[in-house]
Structure 1
Amino acid sequence: MKTIKMSNYSVAKSGYPELAKICEEYNYKKVVIIGGKKALNAASNKIVEALKGSDIEITGIFIYGTECSMTNVNKLLDKEEVQNADVIFTVGSGKALDTGKVLANIANKNTFTFPTICSNCAAVTAIAVVYNDDKSFSHYENVPAPAHMFVETSIIAEAPTKYIWAGIGDGLSKQPEVEYATKGLELNHTAKTGLTLSKSCEESFIKYGEQAVEDCKNKKNTIAIEEIAMNILVSTGYVSNLTNQPEYYYNSSLAHIFYNTSTNIHRKKEYSHGEVVAFGVMVLHAYAKNQKGLETIAAFNKKIGLPTTLADIDIIEDNLIEMAEAAPSTTEWKKAAFPFSKEKFIQAMKDADSYGRSIA
């Protein structure tokens, strides 16, 4: 028997007007709120306001940390306020949301997510990216999808522009990665639905991406902001859930292999997940010998300031062998329907960089 659960979602320009009603539908009487410090400052008062006048008790509000690590999950798990809650409200970015999902899974509770930025699709996905305490990539954790996501677009519009910019970079990977991972395969209905939905993603990013970044710079809550937020938070998230099942993994491919292996490289500064994945999409197209795809993504990346060369993310040619050596340990490499080549991966990174430098 197969059961596919997808997150419901509510979207409002301001506040969370449906929150109390939806909690009552689930018969939730006690909630605990966890999130990032800035995210809680932006949203917790609005959550409190939305629950005012109801019988719902907030048992506690906690900062999760700064990393989705098992250390932080276990610290939260020990709290009585978490143990006594009926549902976990998780507020913030992908790492906060993933922490909440892992925590809820271990505690055998549902989670409601409140993304305050749209840097990735973690708010609705049935997977969490877990890191080590030193910020290096640890593993993917399969978890239930959140029961409900609440989006306030004004919070997203008022967040620093770098987050929606990075979210576009990450979201750009969904369509080409799923298409590449499923190429030539006979798919069941669920995977085929995920593939079909993935084909709607890239067009929206290219159509609305530049305008959404500009509107976010100006703190304007516009149609472009909403379209990009929904594309990141809903469309790519639903694709993830449909293409990541026990019997197959088509959710990500070489763009994320590039990102995951890059976390082992010591660099002078930190680079966001989506920022690195955006260049990883160029690597994927170079690996697949898809020149048109490489040119399209490189041109778009250049237009909105996403990376187009290895130098843009402080990776040098000497790092590529180390990254290729780490690649077989990634989920994407191990679960691919056909074998990858370390040599081709190294060459694809070089080719993507070469093309990016040619248009600089």
Structure 2
Amino acid sequence: MKRLRMMRAPLKYVQGKGALLQFRKEMEYMGKRWLFVCSNSGYNSCHEDLEKSFEGEDDYRRYEVFGGMSSISEIKKMQDIVETDKIDVVVAVGGGSAVDAAKATAYYMGKRIVIIPTVAATDAPCTGLSVIYNDDGSFNKYLFYPQNPDAVLVDSSVIANAPVKFLIAGMGDALGTYFEGRASLRTESPSLESGGITRAGMAIAKACYDTLRKYGKAAITACENNVVTPALDAIIEATVYLSGVGADNVNCAAPHSFYNGVTSLGGHEAYHGNCVAFGTLIQLTLECADKAEFEDIQNFCLEVGLPITLAELGDFTDEDLHTIAKNACVKGETIHNLAGDVTPDELYAAIIATDALGKARLGK
């Protein structure tokens, strides 16, 4: 039977300067008992304005500082709180790991989920999945959900006041969306939601890429100066919404498999988006992309501060690279959405070649 095409997205998306002050007004239909799963920085940057949004209301609120990783034990801890405190709505306040843990908690407990990203470092807020890690930091699995988050609320002022390195990483994650979707469409692979890839999904992925190219540099300048501008708002929408909804409705490919290979080393501190950006270049190498396209993406990475060499991601031994390649090519990894069956040896060669091309571009 021919695969059915489908589209999914968050039920509600709210973005703008001062959005936190409207949280209760925008989300009141969901319930009266709230668990805020916060990163340390998320609590510090959002707690005051969130509380202002509840002024004059008697809703129950519990703020729980998240342990830093969307691991099995942290998710179980949050589940216990939901049950004990009779929570109606789980709210993630923080970066990608807090988002993933909160989504998993809400799913397992049958509760509504709202996402408040405090950095634009990944497209996790809008996606219908979580990346789950083992307690030692190694990759465990993708946890797919039957629907996307109930709501996502982004306060542009919070993003503008976060370190610019997170915005840059978010652009790296978003960079992969179009190229991974294009590869998946070429091989007639299913979307991340196991449906056929729609024209709308690809259009969103392309709009994400076009927005990055048009506004990326200007958005970085705004974030460096802690101000909200139309360019920054455009990039926030691209990294959070367009990338997230685009990825859900197309699919991933080599860039995200490369990242999973890196995490398999354990304890590596390279940002997700930075790995995805370099992984996008690796994918172009595997696809034998024409020179002009490859160099164009290199130039974009240089313009916004994304890596084009391995050294910019960290210190890897040759053994590390073989391990990355092996684990990025295990059964079920999205690298197999590329044409042909990519082997660990082929991926290793592409990593080495991409790094060499990056060094040549930098004159090293």
Q: What residue number does 1:227 align with? A: 234
Tell whether the 8 Å contact from 1:170 to 1:278 is kept in structure 2 after alignment.
yes
State the TM-score, normalized to the length of structure 2: 0.90
Residue 130 (structure 1) aligned with residue 132 (structure 2): yes
Q: Deviations over 1:127-178 (max 9, x none)?
A: 1111122222211111231101111101100001110011011110000011
Q: Report 1:93-112 matches (<5 A).
A: 93-112=95-114
Is the contact between residue 329 and residue 343 of structure 2 (CA under 8 Å) also seen in structure 1?
no
Give secondary structure in 2 for the equivalent of 1:79. Answer: helix
In 2, Cα distance between the equivalents of 1:220 and 1:257?
35
**How many pairs does the alignment contain?**
350
1:358 to 350, 357, 360: 360
- TM-score calculated relative to the size of structure 1: 0.90
Residue equivalent to 1:320:
321
Give the corresponding residue for 1:302: 302
Structure-1 separation of matches of 2:135 and 2:28:
37
Q: Deviations for 1:43-73, whole angstroms, at most 9, x for unmatched residues?
A: 0221111121234221x11012110111100
2:15 maps to amino acid: V
2:279 equivalent to 1:276: no
2:155 corresponds, among 152, 157, 166, to 152
Q: Contact 1:255–1:281 (CA<8 Å) still a contact in 2?
A: yes
Which residue of structure 2 lines up, in the alignment, with residue 33 of structure 1?
Answer: 36
Q: Which moved more, 1:11-20 or 1:130-139?
A: 11-20
**What secondary structure is seen at the aligned counterpart in 2 of 1:19?**
helix
Task: Give the equivalent residue in structure 2 for 1:43.
Answer: 46
| Contact kept in structure 2, 1:15 and 1:47, CA below 8 Å | no
- The residue aligned with 1:65 is 67
Contact persistence 1:15–1:50 (CA under 8 A)? no
Higher relative contact order (CA 8 A, sep 6+): 2
Whole-angstrom CA distance in 1 between matches of 2:27 and 2:248: 24
Amino acid at match of 2:274: E
Look up the match of 1:205: 212
Deviation at 1:344, TM superposition (A): 2.0
Name the CA shift for 1:331/1:73 in 2 (closer, same or farther; >3 Å): same
Q: Using the TM superposition, give the Cα deviation of residue 4 of structure 1 relative to its aligned residue in structure 2, in angstroms.
A: 5.2
Q: Is the 8 Å Cα contact of residues 82 and 88 (structure 1) preserved in structure 2?
A: no
User: Is contact 2:183–2:253 with CA below 8 Å preserved after alignment?
Assistant: yes
Moved more, 273-282 or 290-299: 290-299
Shift of 1:186: 8.5
User: Is 2:189 the partner of 1:182?
Assistant: no
Corresponding position of 1:331:
333
Q: Deviations over 1:259-290 (max 9, x none)?
A: 110112367x6111111111111101000011
Contact 2:184-2:253 at 8 Å conserved across structures: yes
- Aligned-partner Cα distance in 2 for 1:223–1:134: 41
Q: Is the 8 A contact 1:10 1:18 kept in 2?
A: no
2:42 touches 2:93 (CA, 8 Å); kept in 1? yes
CA drift of 1:80 comes to 5.3
Change (3 A) 1:211 1:51: same
Compare 213-222 and 163-172 and name the one that shifted more: 213-222
- Matched position secondary structure for 1:172: helix
Structure 1 residue 2, shift from structure 2 partner: 8.8
Task: Quote how far apart the aligned CAs of 1:112 are.
Answer: 0.7
